[in-house]
Chains A and B, each alone.
Chain A
Amino acid sequence: GAVVSQHPSRVICKSGTSVKIECRSLDFQATTMFWYRQFPKQSLMLMATSNEGSKATYEQGVEKDKFLINHASLTLSTLTVTSAHPEDSSFYICSAYKQGMNTEAFFGQGTRLTVV
């Protein structure tokens, strides 16, 4: 199966700082990637759709200025959590479809963010 890789897998940062999470499709191209957030014992919540070469589309209630998304190439999307606060501590997961094949989504292993 196709591989989606996230980096880092875990990160701890101080309140007020920014953190960048990378999502890479290792063996396929993806024009669209998706970012999710998951709090403990809850389901995945879609945050935004990342579109290569254009602006991301954010779900209702997600602050676009706080969660900056860049999709500069067909294999890389980044999520930057700006001015992080403890309530941003969560599990962040990205996913992608193979370009031209929208049957199954491939997910990264997730990034555990802890803001102290």
Chain B
Amino acid sequence: DAKTTQPPSMDCAEGRAANLPCNHSTISGNEYVYWYRQIHSQGPQYIIHGLKNNETNEMASLIITEDRKSSTLILPHATLRDTAVYYCIVRVPGGATNKLIFGTGTLLAVQP
């Protein structure tokens, strides 16, 4: 799996949009971008994934640049409950190993 780079931490005001960047400059053509988050002392939670088109679901939006070398996860109206570590991972779905390798992630602190 290709490596990703994320800022170690970010702050966001409650009610505002949180934009979390991720660089994946070595991503290969068949690798998807996945986002998970981990609230303190819980297991990770899937958020969203995409290949090259922007994606949106009830939790977040995923914006992938045209060259696919970076992406941004957007939480449109952050709440205190969104405080968590957010992990950006690139992988091939159904790949030979199916392993999810976690990097260091971004600690998002939503401030009241």
Contact = CB atoms under 8 A, between A and B. Distances in A.
Interface in A1-36: 1, 4, 6, 32, 34, 36
A107 B43 contact: yes
Determine the interface band of chain A, counting residues with CB < 8 A from chain B.
Answer: 20 to 34
Interface string B56-75: 00000000000000000000
Contacts of B100: 34, 46, 95, 105
Contacts of B104: 43
B85 to A, nearest CB: 8
Contact of A110 (B34, B36, B41): B41
Contacts of A103: 49, 93-94
A55 to B, nearest CB: 15
Interface of A: 1, 4, 6, 32, 34, 36, 43-46, 49, 91, 93, 95, 97, 102-110, 112
6 contacts: A6-B43, A32-B98, A43-B102, A44-B102, A91-B41, A103-B94
